[in-house]
Amino acid sequence: MPLTAKAMGRAWGAAALAAAAALAVTALAPPQAEGKGRGRRAEDVLKKRIIVSTKPFPAKFKSDAAMVGYMNRVHKRSLVAVDGKWKFYYMSFFANPLEDIQVKVNFYDLTDGKRFLLSADQYAMERGQRILSADFELSREEIPSNHKVLMAVVHRGKILATTTIFMVDHRKFDGKVDFDEP
């Protein structure tokens, strides 16, 4: 059972949290388009965007146009919690190559203004990449249910890519309180 970022922080402390976050969120090698094609590169078409999906991304595409089409088809604007958690994959596209291998992924609640929620370090496979792909599993304790959330990839204070997601939770409440439940 994967630990949430908050649970890992309590269990291991701040120093180990960064190392655990790197291991808990699996960074993948950026997908490749097989043909060189004459069209624009996927990184140029999708620059400054984060694509969110509930399914893993393919490792290869036939062309950059096929990759752009696929990303536009699978992008989710809302995620539904399953057992109190949102599990999703993301791929971020940058306008310029990364100068470093480490970036931060920040989450902000946009429902009532802009409130910082959490941050996680992410690591690229190498410098110079323009695509970063990984996955997250977030809980209700980390992200409020039924709220609009901004996800931003940031490096040295500069926002490289963003997306907005509505975090849906279909919990049903019966209005009764059980004080015996822990």
| Domain boundaries defined on the chain | 5-168
**Out of 2.60.40.1930, 3.40.30.10, 3.40.50.150, 3.90.1150.10, which CATH number does the structure's domain 5-168 have?**
2.60.40.1930
Q: What's the DSSP call for residue 179?
A: T
Helix (H) or strand (E) holding 144: none
Question: pLDDT digit of tens for each residue in the chain (182 aa)?
Answer: 343 444 333 333 333 333 333 333 444 455 655 555 556 899 999 999 999 999 999 999 999 999 999 999 999 999 999 999 999 999 999 999 999 999 999 999 999 899 999 999 999 999 999 999 999 999 999 999 999 999 999 999 999 999 999 999 887 655 666 677 55
pLDDT for the residue numbered 171: 73
pLDDT for the residue numbered 173: 58
Name residues whose C-beta falls within 8 Å of residue 165's C-beta, 6 or more positions apart in sequence.
Answer: 52, 76, 77, 78, 79, 148, 149, 151
pLDDT for the residue numbered 180: 72
